[in-house]
Amino acid sequence: MAGRDQRRRSTERAWLITAPLTLLAVVFSTAIAVISDQPVGEWGLALVLFVAMTAVSVPVLNFIVRRQSVAVTLTEVPLVVALFFLPPLTVVVIYTLSSLARCAWHRFAPAKFWFNVAKAAAATSLAGLLLLALPPLQGVGPGTWGSLFLAVNTITLVSLVSVVGVHVLLQGWQAGREALRTTPSVFLTTSINASVGLLLLIALERTWWSALLLAALFAALAQVYRSYSQFFQQHRTLTGMYDLSRTITTSADGALGDVLLGRVRALMQAEYATLWLPAQGRHPEVLLTARVDAPGLLDVAPTPAAFREQARELGRTLSTGRLLGGDSALRGVANVNQVKDAIVVPLRSGQAVIGTLEVVNRLSDVGHFTPTDVPVFETVAAHAAVALENSRLVDRLRHDANHDALTKLPNRRRVTAAVAEAVTIAAPGEVVALLLFDVDRLRQVNESLGHAAGDKVLVEVAERLRACAPSAALVGRPGGDEFLVTLRLESAEAALELAGQLREQIRDEMVFDGLTLDVDTAVGVAVHPDHGSDAVALLQRVDLAATAAKSVPGSVQLYSPALESRSLRRLGLAGDLRRALNDGALQVYFQPKVTLRDRRLVGVECLARWEHPAHGTVAPDDFVAVAEHTGQLGRLTEFVLRESLRRSRDWGHGEQPLAVSVNLAARTLTDQHFPAIVRDLLEEYDVPPQRLTLEITEAGVLDGTERPIPTLRRLRDLGVRLSVDDFGTGNSSLAQLRRLPVHEVKVDRSFVQGMATDPGDLAIVNAVVTLSQQFGLAVVAEGVESELTLELLQDIGCEIGQGFLFSRPLPYERLEAWFGAQVDPETISASELPRLRVVP
């Protein structure tokens, strides 16, 4: 790691302090040898005191400053005895050797090893010179106490100054100030140790047998301190666990990782704390590390990936270190990565392992993780696992609250918020465009193939939209069979163009269990600021545009205020329509259908009309849509059927019957009771079934499913004629009509009216007429409005037509008058239909 290499280079600068200390130690020791009459001697006692110094060199109090440690030991106790009984240069030698042995035992790095040895040598040699400069030590009176007390504190002072200097050199003035703050406690501990040493000296000066009593006393005190240390450690751990739990509970979701790792690292007194969460579902992999001397979190870890992968695979804690033992292979990998010790604990959610929590390197070079740290860290990891799982649960709930469960797209809540945010940001020369795609005939798919097939259609449309939409667009599903695309574009015209392109790109066949379905959509378009200033208004108006798009060529509609007034008008018409049906306020108009060759009347198309007392004439599209959405479609259809059959029965022009045609909505074919209703009405009005033709739009009869077929067959079995209305406007072919029980095809008016000017429309009509006749189907041309169109239809062999050239839709009384005025009396015979005069 780059940070580790940087720290390694910085610790090598400690030689800038070590070298001067070594030089001072040599100079002071040389001075002692020159000044002292007996600089060395008493090697037997020196050996005993050396062993004592080495034995008590284990740290009792360890002050952590950044990564460095200021350790206070009990070496001052035997040091006081050595300064009194031994020559000064001998004290320098044994104290320096004791420090060397202590550093070797703790396996200090070379820079720190030699720094501590040089510091010990320089400090004791200076203390030796100081004792030589003071009056000779005689007895163990107050004078001796003062001299020894001053010498011991001189050693502590030199050590403290050296440590502060190293911190300043390696880590800056801030680290030096932090180390300097430990001065009072360090000198207090030194003074206590020196006092204990003086008491020991007084006892030994009185009799050497006191050493036995003192040894027993120190053993007892060591046991007491050990118990106190364990109690203090337990109290500290419990306090840390409480703080950790409280902090995790109160932390914000986004700061959980930072808070968790920082607290864990501090609680375990570790150099590193690492959290690893492997990729899971929509959650990417997470690898975060808190380091003691680095602000924020790092995205790297000191431990190799093999550690956490093995912990996850085995589902148990892995530990390695000097006091932890561990697998030899792991230990080898740890040594290669310069990991002193590490604990890796798997994080569990139930029985599943969702990640790992790791701590690496106990702070200070003399500290190590112990076996008692493992259960503590496992408890910490258990708390962390619960917190992380709760955090993920909250995140998942928030995601689910803003996304559609089926398509995983943003739902209405998320889309509304995104649009609201977009409209608050003004961008000159741009509009916020909303494109609402309404999937056609999804209800029929659900009813005929089941909701599972409908769900597949929605998922497929969502995937196609995601793939085709621009990368800057937000694709969402506000609900039902609607999908919304919102983005910034140059103008409303650009939005219309994009809507058409997307509609064509997602318009393709889908195959489900061997059944091929045609996917088509109607697209509404609204833009900010032209069509609304807030998200709610824009979503409402784009919905109106999508509804209107279903009835316009191309199925793409830009919002206009007229759509809103029409929608509000339809909403108000619901109650009025119910009253009109109850009061018989609706009328049925009749438009003649004639043979094109000799203009003989063969029947009429029956069309519902409504003259509203307040709104005037209501368009059929409006009140039919109202009837369909308010459950009144059945009543409306029955009303038209009754009126048509009644007029057909009452037609009184000689022996010539009046055939009637009635339009049916696609939803009517899903009513299994409808054929029985038709049969009962035919019987009630005593009209032969072949005199009734039921017209169904191409989209209604050829919706890609088999659902309409049983109803059509039952109607055919009654003897009723069936006609496919508006043929050519959908995606079906004449070949598909062969499997349907229909008798007639009506060519849509848009092709008939374009025959005289558009060769393409002429070719389409010609093909429909030719193929229909080959299939034995009658052909009716709608929208005949000119003599030229009539001649063209005659030339291609079309049999029947209707349109304004012959007559507009008329009420029954006017139909009779029109018929009487148009009939050529000379053409009337008992065996032929009445021939109409040519309309000028």
Report the pLDDT value the prediction gives residue 95, as an integer from 0 to 100: 87
Highest mean pLDDT among 68-77, 82-91, 294-303: 82-91
User: Using CA atoms, how far apart are residues 737 and 723, in angstroms rounded to an integer?
Assistant: 11
Mean pLDDT, to the nearest integer, of 82-106? 85
State pLDDT tens for residues 439-482: 887 777 776 677 888 888 899 899 999 999 998 999 999 988 89
CB within 8 Å of 325: residues ≥ 6 apart = 319
Going by their DSSP bridges, the two strands 521-528 and 431-439 should be labelled as antiparallel
The whole-chain average pLDDT of the chain stands at: 81
Report the pLDDT value the prediction gives residue 76, as an integer from 0 to 100: 79
Q: Are 796 and 761 in contact (CB under 8 A)?
A: no
Which of 73-82, 237-246, 464-473, 608-617 shows the lowest per-residue confidence on average (mean pLDDT)?
237-246
Percent of the chain at pLDDT > 90 equals 19
User: Does position 67 have pLDDT exceeding 90, yes or no?
Assistant: no
Interior/surface letters 650-689, b for 16+ CB within 10 angstroms, e for the rest: ebeeeebbbbbbbbbbbebbbbeebbeebbebbeebebeb
User: Using CA atoms, how far apart are residues 741 and 778, in angstroms rounded to an integer?
Assistant: 13
Q: Are 197 and 83 in contact (CB under 8 A)?
A: no
Report the pLDDT value the prediction gives residue 801, as an integer from 0 to 100: 94
State pLDDT tens for residues 601-649: 899 999 999 998 877 888 888 888 888 878 888 899 999 999 999 999 9
Q: Which residue has the higher pLDDT, 738 or 93?
A: 93
User: Does position 562 have pLDDT exceeding 50, yes or no?
Assistant: yes
Report the pLDDT value the prediction gives residue 228, as an integer from 0 to 100: 57
User: Does position 4 have pLDDT exceeding 50, yes or no?
Assistant: no
Which of 34-43, 429-438, 601-610, 800-809 shows the lowest per-residue confidence on average (mean pLDDT)?
34-43
Quickly state the pLDDT bin for 221 (edges 50, 70, 90).
low
Report the pLDDT value the prediction gives residue 99, as an integer from 0 to 100: 85
Report the pLDDT value the prediction gives residue 606, as an integer from 0 to 100: 94
User: Does position 100 have pLDDT exceeding 50, yes or no?
Assistant: yes
Q: Which residue has the higher pLDDT, 85 or 419?
A: 419
Strand pairing partners for 525? 435, 558
State pLDDT tens for residues 159-202: 888 888 887 887 777 777 777 777 777 777 777 777 777 777 77
Report the pLDDT value the prediction gives residue 254, as an integer from 0 to 100: 53
Quickly state the pLDDT bin for 225 (edges 50, 70, 90).
low
Task: Output the CA torsion 553→558→562→567 (10° steps).
Answer: 80
Mean pLDDT, to the nearest integer, of 370-384? 82
Q: Which residue has the higher pLDDT, 435 or 68?
A: 435
User: Does position 675 have pLDDT exceeding 90, yes or no?
Assistant: yes
Report the pLDDT value the prediction gives residue 69, as an integer from 0 to 100: 42
Mean pLDDT, to the nearest integer, of 94-108? 82
User: Does position 286 have pLDDT exceeding 70, yes or no?
Assistant: yes
- Residue 751 has which token pair? 């092709």
Q: Are 322 and 368 in contact (CB under 8 A)?
A: yes
User: Using CA atoms, how far apart are residues 547 and 562, in angstroms rounded to an integer?
Assistant: 13
Quickly state the pLDDT bin for 733 (edges 50, 70, 90).
low
User: Using CA atoms, how far apart are residues 559 and 541, in angstroms rounded to an integer?
Assistant: 6
User: Using CA atoms, how far apart are residues 254 and 744, in angstroms rounded to an integer?
Assistant: 68
Report the pLDDT value the prediction gives residue 732, as an integer from 0 to 100: 58
State pLDDT tens for residues 308-358: 888 888 888 888 887 777 777 777 777 667 788 888 999 888 788 888 899
User: Using CA atoms, how far apart are residues 275 and 358, in angstroms rounded to an integer?
Assistant: 6
Note the helical H segments in 719-837.
Answer: 734-737, 749-752, 759-774, 787-795, 812-822
User: Three-state SS for 403?
Assistant: strand
State pLDDT tens for residues 696-722: 887 666 655 667 788 888 999 999 999
The amino acid occupying position 369 is F
Task: Output the CA torsion 245→250→256→259 (10° steps).
Answer: -70
User: Does position 224 have pLDDT exceeding 70, yes or no?
Assistant: no
User: Does position 244 have pLDDT exceeding 80, yes or no?
Assistant: no
Report the pLDDT value the prediction gives residue 62, as an integer from 0 to 100: 45
Report the pLDDT value the prediction gives residue 483, as an integer from 0 to 100: 94
User: Does position 834 have pLDDT exceeding 70, yes or no?
Assistant: no
Percent of the chain at pLDDT > 70 equals 83
Q: Which residue has the higher pLDDT, 725 or 56?
A: 725
Phi, psi dihedral angles at 616 (to 5 degrees) = 80, -150
pTM: 0.49
Report the pLDDT value the prediction gives residue 506, as an integer from 0 to 100: 85
Q: What angle do CA 614, 620, 623 make, to 5 degrees?
A: 60
